[in-house]
């Protein structure tokens, strides 16, 4: 089926543009340390944590065709709401997916002859403490070797109180160690993973070191009898 044939029916399964970016947090200082003085010298810095809104059509290039072919598959499977929004930012395509529908979306992207994103490049974790109910994000990177090395992202969110996201190891076996690392560093639990254990930290380690609320420099470092205190206990510049 051509893109022209698909697009009319597929548009119903593609969320409308959601407008500008959503500001989820205003950051102050270099590391967000509070209550112990400014240890960086950059306490006056202010930054925004933003999550982009949906992008308007046309997305440009091959992005429209990919979205339309995927939307056709999702409509046929009764999963018209699986994609929450489509974002094209800096020429890169990201699909925000409902976590329960992640395996179905990934399987369509891998198997559809018009999509063929057969190579998974890994998964990364992101922690947005201020994004209430969606604090933990998993970001998958997929490549289509068949169709000229196209690359897209799938982004899925889960709350800290229920940090479960379906594993993609069954669909992309190379995700095995990547999902373990994301679990280790961020505490995202990938359901149905064959061996979801720590891969970088000791098995009895408490906490997940790349979360934003993890204690900053919480372990003293020893240097030949001298001790370097944690970063938030060093000299204050305020």
Which pLDDT score is estimated for 192? Answer: 96
204 part of a folded domain? yes
- How many angstroms separate the CA atoms of 161 and 159, rounded? 5
Domain range holding 146? 53-233
Give the mean model confidence (pLDDT) for residues 148-162.
Answer: 96
CATH code for position 210: 3.30.460.80
Which pLDDT score is estimated for 224? Answer: 64
pLDDT in tens, 174-194: 999 999 999 999 999 999 999
Which pLDDT score is estimated for 189? Answer: 98
142 part of a folded domain? yes
| 219 compared with 144, residue with greater pLDDT | 144
Cβ count within 10 A of residue 215: 11
144 part of a folded domain? yes
Give the mean model confidence (pLDDT) for residues 92-117.
Answer: 97
4 part of a folded domain? no
The whole-model pTM stands at 0.80
140 part of a folded domain? yes
149 part of a folded domain? yes
78 part of a folded domain? yes
Whether the pLDDT of residue 135 is over 50: the answer is yes
pLDDT in tens, 45-78: 788 888 889 999 999 999 999 999 999 999 999 9
Cβ count within 10 A of residue 166: 20
- How many angstroms separate the CA atoms of 135 and 11, rounded? 29
Question: Could you give the number of structural domains in the chain?
Answer: 1
35 part of a folded domain? no
pLDDT in tens, 118-134: 999 999 999 999 999 99
pLDDT in tens, 196-233: 999 999 888 889 999 988 876 655 555 566 666 666 66
Which pLDDT score is estimated for 35? Answer: 61
Q: Which pLDDT band holds residue 113 (cuts at 50, 70, 90)? A: very high
Which pLDDT score is estimated for 213? Answer: 86
């Amino acid at each position: 089926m051509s893109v022209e044939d698909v697009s009319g029916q597929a548009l119903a399964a593609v969320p409308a543009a959601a407008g500008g970016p959503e500001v989820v947090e205003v950051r102050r200082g270099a590391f967000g340390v509070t209550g112990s003085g400014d240890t960086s010298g950059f306490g006056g810095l202010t930054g925004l944590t933003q999550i982009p809104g949906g992008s308007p059509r046309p997305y440009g290039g091959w992005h429209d065709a990919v979205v339309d072919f995927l939307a056709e598959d999702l409509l046929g499977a009764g999963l018209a709401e699986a994609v929450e929004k489509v974002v094209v930012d800096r020429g890169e395509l990201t699909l925000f997916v409902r976590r329960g529908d992640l395996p179905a979306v990934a399987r369509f992207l891998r198997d559809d002859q018009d999509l063929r994103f057969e190579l998974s490049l890994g998964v990364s974790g992101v922690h947005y403490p201020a994004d209430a109910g969606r604090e933990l994000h998993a970001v998958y990177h997929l490549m289509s070797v068949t169709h000229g090395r196209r690359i897209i992202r799938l982004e899925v969110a889960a709350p800290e109180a229920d940090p479960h996201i379906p594993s993609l190891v069954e669909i992309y076996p190379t995700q095995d160690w990547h999902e373990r690392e994301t679990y280790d560093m961020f505490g995202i639990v990938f359901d149905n993973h064959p061996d979801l254990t720590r891969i970088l930290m000791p098995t009895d380690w408490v906490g997940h070191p790349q979360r934003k609320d993890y204690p900053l420099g919480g372990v003293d470092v020893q240097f030949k009898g001298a001790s370097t205190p944690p970063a938030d206990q060093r000299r204050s510049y305020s």
